[in-house]
A = this chain, B = another copy of it.
Amino acid sequence: MRAEIVAIGTELLLGQIIDTNSTWIAEQLAVAGIDCLYQSRVGDNIERIVDVLSHALSRSDAVITCGGLGPTQDDITREAIAKVMGVELLRDADAERRVREMFASRGRDMSENNLRQAEVPVGGRIITQVIGSAPGLICPVGDKVIYALPGVPHEMREMVTRAVLEDLSRRSGETSTIRSRVLRTFGIAESKIAEIVTPRFEALENGGAGGPRIAFLASGIEGVKVRITVKAATEAEARVLLDQEELALRALLGESVFGIDDETMEHSLGEVLRDKGLTLGLAESFTGGLISSRIVAVVGASRWFRGALVAYNEEVKYQALGVAPGPVVSAAAAISMAEGACSLLGSDVAISTTGVAGPDEQEGHPVGTCFVGLVVRGRSSESLVLRLSGDRQRIRELATIAALGNMRRILLGP
């Protein structure tokens, strides 16, 4: 069973948005063990969409499209599919009712053009919409099939997960599964991680085709990611293989591994705080609330997170945190800020950030100079100085990960 992906939308061809939909769908297909050999993008032009869909059906068994299902004049995917199928578009009464209901339940007026979204090529059927107002479509073409999905990522993913993968698996009779697991490390450079892992990497490469594989992922600033990939007959067997490989790698990598898959550094820090029964407060300056907003995304954070003061203006550092009037980009100011956060927010532990995100220097410090305060009430007060590079947003993100990672290190003990 071969599937391919067609992303529809002129904004893609003009390079105005990045096509993350195709990448995500491709990943789901790989995990489901379904081959995807081609991916295409085409603009909002009926002849070209029909051409691309026809060509796709000539070489693949299933085509998944995203985009062009909205209510506006540019949205012509339904018309193109009907042309490829050689049929008319008919208004589906259930789909129409649902479109009307969705607007009514949100207390919004519905302009008539929304009813275009209830049109279905004869022979096709609806994938009911639960998030947006556009339903998806499953359109058989002989033995083959076209799945049409909205372009809005959230809506598309929900429909793929709920309806498309199941239909594809049923059609393909595919039973093997490919699964991956990512070990997230922090504090050791990529080349060193690669060196540490080499014995295992080579053992697996020599273990023959079909065995587990290790790869290093382009990791950006969040540390180095090591991905394990396995293929097995069932999900349960795949999980066993992944568990074995994870153990082998943890034996080599130690505590530099802070999380698995999507587990963030803040999630890991939260586990440590929860295990030790400690609460956390933050005093942020140039990071502007970024550390706090990452922490509140951790499930269960309300058990150990008190809150944050973003003291963006200097006066707020003096007045709300009790920092002594004077320089604010310094180790002393960072420690003061963290101690002030413990008081103001009533927390056991606090992290502070103060520094120069740019574009200008401050207090004689070059852009990228940051001080991080790390206070554990009654136990320790330390500060780190960081010299970071990049634009403002990158400097904030680098400081955030360093602050969280170092507090985790301190709490895990000497």
- Residues of B contacting A299 in the complex (Cβ-Cβ under 8 angstroms): 359
A10 beta carbon closer than 8 Å to chain B? yes
Supposing A113-B194, A192-B111, A195-B111 touch, asked if A37 and B26 sit within 8 A by C-beta, the answer is no
Give the number of times this chain occurs in the complex, counting copies: 2
Q: Is there an interface contact between A39 and B40, defined as CB atoms closer than 8 Å?
A: yes
Supposing A111-B194, A310-B308, A393-B297 touch, asked if A15 and B27 sit within 8 A by C-beta, the answer is yes
Residue of B whose beta carbon sits closest to that of A38 = B42
A233 beta carbon closer than 8 Å to chain B? no
- Expressed in whole angstroms, the minimum distance between the Cβ of A158 and any Cβ of chain B is 11
Cα of A55 to Cα of B292 in the assembled complex, Å: 49
Cα of A284 to Cα of B296 in the assembled complex, Å: 11
Supposing A43-B37, A289-B308, A313-B302 touch, asked if A20 and B23 sit within 8 A by C-beta, the answer is no
Q: Is there an interface contact between A216 and B74, defined as CB atoms closer than 8 Å?
A: yes
A70 beta carbon closer than 8 Å to chain B? yes
Q: Is there an interface contact between A30 and B15, defined as CB atoms closer than 8 Å?
A: yes
A163 beta carbon closer than 8 Å to chain B? no
- Residues of B contacting A216 in the complex (Cβ-Cβ under 8 angstroms): 70, 72, 74
From 17 to 48 in chain A, residues with beta carbon under 8 angstroms from any chain B beta carbon are 17-20, 22-30, 36-45, 48
Residue of B whose beta carbon sits closest to that of A309 = B309
- Expressed in whole angstroms, the minimum distance between the Cβ of A252 and any Cβ of chain B is 14
The number of residues on chain A lying at the interface, defined by a beta carbon within 8 Å of a beta carbon of chain B, is: 110
Neighbour of A295 across the interface among B151, B288, B296, CB < 8 A: B288
Neighbour of A113 across the interface among B45, B195, B309, CB < 8 A: B195
Q: Is there an interface contact between A320 and B344, defined as CB atoms closer than 8 Å?
A: yes
A154 beta carbon closer than 8 Å to chain B? yes
- Residues of B contacting A345 in the complex (Cβ-Cβ under 8 angstroms): 313, 316, 320
Q: Is there an interface contact between B14 and A27, defined as CB atoms closer than 8 Å?
A: yes
- Expressed in whole angstroms, the minimum distance between the Cβ of A162 and any Cβ of chain B is 15
Q: Is there an interface contact between B109 and A316, defined as CB atoms closer than 8 Å?
A: no
Q: Is there an interface contact between A305 and B301, defined as CB atoms closer than 8 Å?
A: no
A286 beta carbon closer than 8 Å to chain B? yes
Q: A153-183 vs B: 1/0 string, CB under 8 Å?
A: 1100000000000000000000000101010
A234 beta carbon closer than 8 Å to chain B? no
From 280 to 302 in chain A, residues with beta carbon under 8 angstroms from any chain B beta carbon are 282, 284, 286-293, 295-297, 299, 301-302
- Expressed in whole angstroms, the minimum distance between the Cβ of A392 and any Cβ of chain B is 7
Supposing A27-B16, A36-B13, A38-B41 touch, asked if A346 and B152 sit within 8 A by C-beta, the answer is no
From 253 to 297 in chain A, residues with beta carbon under 8 angstroms from any chain B beta carbon are 279, 282, 284, 286-293, 295-297
Cα of A48 to Cα of B39 in the assembled complex, Å: 12
- Expressed in whole angstroms, the minimum distance between the Cβ of A285 and any Cβ of chain B is 8
- Residues of B contacting A71 in the complex (Cβ-Cβ under 8 angstroms): 190-191, 194
Neighbour of A289 across the interface among B52, B111, B291, B316, CB < 8 A: B291
Cα of A227 to Cα of B319 in the assembled complex, Å: 46
A108 beta carbon closer than 8 Å to chain B? yes
A11 beta carbon closer than 8 Å to chain B? yes
29 contacts between A and B (CB under 8 A): A10-B215, A11-B217, A11-B227, A14-B26, A14-B30, A15-B23, A15-B29, A38-B52, A39-B42, A40-B40, A51-B59, A55-B55, A70-B216, A71-B190, A71-B191, A71-B194, A113-B194, A150-B218, A153-B220, A287-B293, A288-B292, A289-B292, A293-B293, A306-B312, A307-B310, A307-B316, A308-B308, A308-B309, A308-B312
Q: Known pairs A288-B293, A289-B292. 16 more at Cβ < 8 A? A: A13-B37, A14-B229, A16-B182, A16-B217, A39-B40, A51-B59, A70-B190, A72-B190, A72-B191, A74-B216, A289-B289, A296-B312, A297-B393, A307-B312, A307-B316, A319-B346
Q: Which 6 pairs, one residue from A and one from B, show the smallest C-beta to C-beta distance?
A: A15-B27, A288-B296, A289-B292, A289-B289, A15-B26, A289-B293
